Structure 1
Protein backbone atom coordinates (compact mmCIF):
# COMPACT_ATOMS: atom_id res chain seq x y z
CA UNK A 1 0.00 0.00 0.00
CA UNK A 2 1.17 3.48 -0.73
CA UNK A 3 1.44 5.94 2.09
CA UNK A 4 -1.12 8.15 0.35
CA UNK A 5 -3.81 5.69 1.38
CA UNK A 6 -2.91 6.30 4.99
CA UNK A 7 -2.87 10.07 4.65
CA UNK A 8 -5.85 11.87 6.05
CA UNK A 9 -5.10 14.96 3.98
CA UNK A 10 -6.98 13.46 1.06
CA UNK A 11 -10.41 14.36 2.41
CA UNK A 12 -12.32 16.64 0.09
CA UNK A 13 -13.33 19.84 1.85
CA UNK A 14 -16.61 20.07 -0.09
CA UNK A 15 -17.68 16.55 0.77
CA UNK A 16 -16.48 16.40 4.34
CA UNK A 17 -14.15 13.93 6.02
CA UNK A 18 -13.98 10.37 4.71
CA UNK A 19 -16.19 7.84 6.44
CA UNK A 20 -14.99 4.58 7.97
CA UNK A 21 -16.19 2.75 4.86
CA UNK A 22 -14.34 5.14 2.56
CA UNK A 23 -11.14 4.62 4.55
CA UNK A 24 -11.52 0.85 4.34
CA UNK A 25 -12.25 1.04 0.60
CA UNK A 26 -9.06 3.05 0.07
CA UNK A 27 -7.18 -0.06 1.23
CA UNK A 28 -9.14 -2.35 -1.08
CA UNK A 29 -11.38 -3.76 1.65
CA UNK A 30 -11.25 -4.78 5.28
CA UNK A 31 -8.86 -7.73 4.89
CA UNK A 32 -6.32 -5.53 3.11
CA UNK A 33 -6.76 -2.84 5.75
CA UNK A 34 -6.10 -5.37 8.50
CA UNK A 35 -3.09 -6.89 6.76
CA UNK A 36 -1.62 -3.43 6.12
CA UNK A 37 -1.20 -3.11 9.87
CA UNK A 38 0.00 -6.67 10.45
CA UNK A 39 -3.42 -7.73 11.74
CA UNK A 40 -5.43 -10.82 10.89
CA UNK A 41 -9.17 -11.25 10.44
CA UNK A 42 -9.53 -12.59 13.98
CA UNK A 43 -11.70 -11.07 16.73
CA UNK A 44 -8.85 -9.53 18.74
CA UNK A 45 -7.16 -8.14 15.65
CA UNK A 46 -10.44 -6.81 14.27
CA UNK A 47 -10.92 -4.96 17.56
CA UNK A 48 -7.47 -3.41 17.14
CA UNK A 49 -8.32 -2.55 13.52
CA UNK A 50 -11.46 -0.81 14.76
CA UNK A 51 -9.35 1.28 17.13
CA UNK A 52 -7.11 2.28 14.22
CA UNK A 53 -10.17 3.20 12.16
CA UNK A 54 -11.53 5.27 15.06
CA UNK A 55 -8.26 7.20 15.14
CA UNK A 56 -8.30 7.68 11.37
CA UNK A 57 -11.89 8.93 11.47
CA UNK A 58 -11.06 11.40 14.24
CA UNK A 59 -8.03 12.69 12.33
CA UNK A 60 -10.09 13.00 9.13
CA UNK A 61 -12.66 15.07 11.03
CA UNK A 62 -10.04 17.32 12.62
CA UNK A 63 -8.25 17.86 9.30
CA UNK A 64 -11.53 18.66 7.54
CA UNK A 65 -12.56 21.12 10.26
CA UNK A 66 -9.17 22.83 9.99
CA UNK A 67 -9.56 23.08 6.20
CA UNK A 68 -12.97 24.66 6.68
CA UNK A 69 -11.55 27.23 9.10
CA UNK A 70 -8.77 28.10 6.65
CA UNK A 71 -11.22 28.44 3.75
CA UNK A 72 -13.54 30.66 5.79
CA UNK A 73 -10.58 32.76 6.90
CA UNK A 74 -9.40 33.15 3.29
CA UNK A 75 -12.88 34.21 2.17
CA UNK A 76 -13.04 37.10 4.64
Structure 2
Protein backbone atom coordinates (compact mmCIF):
# COMPACT_ATOMS: atom_id res chain seq x y z
CA UNK A 1 0.00 0.00 0.00
CA UNK A 2 2.65 2.50 -0.93
CA UNK A 3 -0.09 4.77 -2.29
CA UNK A 4 -1.02 5.61 1.30
CA UNK A 5 2.17 7.64 1.45
CA UNK A 6 0.64 9.89 -1.20
CA UNK A 7 -1.77 11.37 1.30
CA UNK A 8 0.37 11.05 4.40
CA UNK A 9 2.24 14.14 5.51
CA UNK A 10 0.67 16.26 2.79
CA UNK A 11 -1.68 17.97 5.20
CA UNK A 12 -1.06 21.58 6.09
CA UNK A 13 -0.62 21.96 9.84
CA UNK A 14 -2.74 25.15 9.90
CA UNK A 15 -5.63 23.57 8.06
CA UNK A 16 -5.68 20.24 9.83
CA UNK A 17 -5.52 16.72 8.50
CA UNK A 18 -6.91 15.89 5.07
CA UNK A 19 -10.55 14.88 4.97
CA UNK A 20 -11.85 11.78 3.24
CA UNK A 21 -12.92 13.84 0.21
CA UNK A 22 -9.52 15.54 0.02
CA UNK A 23 -7.80 12.16 0.05
CA UNK A 24 -10.04 10.92 -2.78
CA UNK A 25 -9.50 14.15 -4.72
CA UNK A 26 -5.73 13.62 -4.41
CA UNK A 27 -6.14 10.40 -6.37
CA UNK A 28 -8.19 12.14 -9.08
CA UNK A 29 -11.56 10.79 -7.92
CA UNK A 30 -13.07 7.69 -6.39
CA UNK A 31 -12.57 5.40 -9.39
CA UNK A 32 -8.85 6.23 -9.50
CA UNK A 33 -8.61 5.72 -5.75
CA UNK A 34 -10.26 2.31 -6.05
CA UNK A 35 -8.15 1.23 -8.99
CA UNK A 36 -4.92 2.35 -7.33
CA UNK A 37 -5.61 -0.28 -4.66
CA UNK A 38 -6.62 -2.91 -7.21
CA UNK A 39 -10.32 -2.51 -6.43
CA UNK A 40 -13.25 -2.18 -8.78
CA UNK A 41 -16.28 0.06 -8.45
CA UNK A 42 -18.47 -2.77 -7.13
CA UNK A 43 -20.35 -2.69 -3.79
CA UNK A 44 -18.12 -5.17 -1.93
CA UNK A 45 -14.96 -3.56 -3.22
CA UNK A 46 -16.24 -0.06 -2.47
CA UNK A 47 -16.68 -1.23 1.14
CA UNK A 48 -13.06 -2.34 1.13
CA UNK A 49 -12.09 1.05 -0.30
CA UNK A 50 -14.02 2.71 2.52
CA UNK A 51 -12.01 0.70 5.05
CA UNK A 52 -8.79 1.88 3.38
CA UNK A 53 -10.05 5.47 3.47
CA UNK A 54 -10.82 5.09 7.18
CA UNK A 55 -7.23 3.99 7.81
CA UNK A 56 -5.83 6.82 5.69
CA UNK A 57 -7.95 9.35 7.59
CA UNK A 58 -6.76 7.97 10.92
CA UNK A 59 -3.14 8.19 9.78
CA UNK A 60 -3.66 11.75 8.54
CA UNK A 61 -5.05 12.73 11.94
CA UNK A 62 -2.21 11.03 13.83
CA UNK A 63 0.41 12.67 11.59
CA UNK A 64 -1.23 16.08 12.01
CA UNK A 65 -1.40 15.74 15.79
CA UNK A 66 2.26 14.73 15.87
CA UNK A 67 3.18 17.79 13.78
CA UNK A 68 1.25 20.01 16.18
CA UNK A 69 3.11 18.58 19.18
CA UNK A 70 6.46 19.05 17.45
CA UNK A 71 5.60 22.66 16.62
CA UNK A 72 4.70 23.32 20.26
CA UNK A 73 8.05 21.87 21.35
CA UNK A 74 9.90 24.02 18.81
CA UNK A 75 8.18 27.16 20.10
CA UNK A 76 9.44 26.60 23.65
TM-score, normalised relative to structure 2:
0.92
Q: Which residue of 1 aligns with 2:24?
A: 24
Task: Give 1:5 shift.
Answer: 6.4
Q: Is the 8 A contact 1:5 1:26 kept in 2?
A: no
Q: Cα distance 1:5–1:32, how it changes in 2: closer, same or farther (>3 A)?
A: farther
Q: Which residue of 2 aligns with 1:50?
A: 50
Unaligned residue ranges in structure 2 (runs of 5+): none
Aligned residues: 75
Aligned CA-pair RMSD = 1.7
Segments ≥4 residues shifted beyond 2 Å: 3-7
Q: Cα distance 1:73–1:12, how it changes in 2: closer, same or farther (>3 A)?
A: same
User: Aligned equivalents of 2:7 and 2:17: distance in 1?
Assistant: 12
Q: Is the 8 A contact 2:8 2:60 kept in 1?
A: yes
Task: Give 1:4 shift.
Answer: 8.2
TM-score, normalised relative to structure 1:
0.92
Task: Give 1:7 shift.
Answer: 3.8
Unaligned residue ranges in structure 1 (runs of 5+): none
User: Aligned equivalents of 1:43 and 1:26: distance in 2?
Assistant: 22
